[in-house]
Structure 1
Amino acid sequence: MIRAPIYFVRHGETDWNAEGRLQGQRDIALNRKGVAQAAEVGERLAGLVGGDVATLPYLSSPMERTRHTMEGLRRSLGLDPAGYTTDPRLREIGFGAWEGLTWKDVRRSDPARSQARDRDRWGFCPPGEGAESYAMVAERVRPLLDSLDGPTIIVAHGGVARAVMVTLGVANPEEAPHLEILQGRVLVLEAGGRRWV
């Protein structure tokens, strides 16, 4: 249940995003386009939130691509780039042994597990250390979401966005893994549902 709006921002583009590689918990830097997207999303937030934009809590995944997105959007808002908190529960879903691969690589090198994932995208956990399912990520972020007591700006990842939407009841486990999670935009999660700005 959503008590107050959450303004969710996916990190800006990295070279691995552009190449279609699974980043998971690898620390990949923003590319030039990603840096520009961070500034752009700050402008979107200013128009969306208005004068309260300086007073809301800002939470970020501790990963480099999210921290740099957060610092870029805060800079574009005229705020102290370092004035935010990181929370490890917002780190990206772990893809384990599949990190660094494209989905085409995965389908070619691990067809049986790839097909198992296609049958249950929400519950499937890839092979390898640190791997997680979306269901596991949802359990990881639930306590954080329960602790929010007002409008909050979050910068995290595509997998986390899917888990957050299901946890908050604005998407279901069947559709969430298939939703496109945009970069350079704001996903507004509120009592009425979800919308992109």
Structure 2
Amino acid sequence: MRDDVTIYLIRHGETDWNAQSRYQGQADIPMNAVGRSQAQRNGEALRALLPKVVDAHFVASPLGRARETMEIVRASLGLDPSGYELDDRLKELHYGHWQGVFASDLADFDAQGAEQRSRDTFRWRPRGGESYADLMERAVDWLGGVTRDTVVAAHGGISRVLRGHLYGIEPSLVPELEVPQDRILVLRRTGMEWL
């Protein structure tokens, strides 16, 4: 990451599947009312940084919950809600055959997969899905093209792997990093902070 770049990373607002502890991955689940209020809160937090953030690049994951988050944030800034780009590399981790499964049902649904994942959460890959290592590879590919301050609406997995890469976090700890939906993660080469 370049020394002169700041990334304002916003995780999409809550969905019903988040609230239910269901593996969501790339399933295109919409935000709920709580999620919309979280996105509004994040837009207001960014508004405190005006006019600086108006000149930033705005990009989102193409999944609906990230797009709606970005549109709420941009409206909060007084900007055209549709004035942003999409990038497939910012999609959430694909949970394959686990998508839609309640976390509490994993032991019955896929005991072997759950056990394998517990041994190496970063490298374990569900059938038809991705590992955190795979996700980090595509997120870092995206990061390599960032040349100016950027506001991003994406997902918890993206937030985790970018921090893991930028700050040399032990891979086994990356999947456990905090990913609040009502705060903005500010990433710089020299460190990070929450807004």
In structure 2, the partner of 1:86 is 86
In structure 2, the partner of 1:191 is 189
Are residue 68 (structure 1) and residue 74 (structure 2) matched?
no
2:92 maps to a residue whose letter is: E
Mapping of 1:1-197 within 5 angstroms? 1-3=1-3, 4-47=5-48, 49-127=49-127, 129=128, 131-169=129-167, 171-197=169-195
CA contact (8 A) 2:47 2:76 kept: no
Shift of 1:171: 2.9
CA contact (8 A) 2:2 2:147 kept: no
CA contact (8 A) 2:12 2:155 kept: yes
For residues 147-185 of structure 1, the C-alpha deviation after alignment (integer angstroms, 9 at most, x for no partner) is: 111211111001111111122235331211111200021
Shift of 1:2: 4.8
CA contact (8 A) 2:62 2:88 kept: yes
CA contact (8 A) 1:126 1:133 kept: yes
2:35 maps to a residue whose letter is: G
- Structure 2: gaps (5+ residues): none
Given the superposition, is the C-alpha separation of residues 94 and 69 from structure 1 closer, same or farther in structure 2, using an over 3 Å criterion? same
Root-mean-square deviation over aligned CA pairs: 1.2
SS of 1:106's partner is: helix
Relative to structure 2, which stretch is displaced further, 64-73 or 156-165?
156-165
Distance in 1 between the 2:168 and 2:84 partners? 26
Distance in 1 between the 2:97 and 2:190 partners? 38
1:7 maps to a residue whose letter is: Y
- Structure 1: gaps (5+ residues): none
TM-score for the superposition, normalised by structure 1: 0.94
Percentage of pairs with the same residue? 41
